[in-house]
Amino acid sequence: MARIDDLKAKTDDQLDEELGNLKREAFNLRFQAATNQLEKPSRVREVRRDIARIKTLQTARTRDAAAAK
């Protein structure tokens, strides 16, 4: 699980890359759940929340950048 402090320290490019990796993992977890091969069901929730954290941080950065103009 990613901590918000760790995410805030990353650059926008690193966040984009992390978001892509998490989305890919979420897809794989959904596929495993559909085929009853999911070993750790709690990981689905963790990944969804990490995706939400990153998107929230990206939105805040975009809003702050627009306000600074």
Amino acid found at 68: A
Domains and CATH numbers, the chain: 4-68 (1.10.287.310)
Predicted model pTM? 0.91
Residues in the chain: 69
pLDDT digits (tens, 9 = 90+) for 20-37: 999 999 999 999 999 999
The residue ranking higher by pLDDT, 18 or 2, is 18
Start-end of H helices in the chain: 4-8, 12-34, 42-68
- The answer to whether residues 57 and 4 touch, using CB atoms and an 8 Å cutoff, is yes
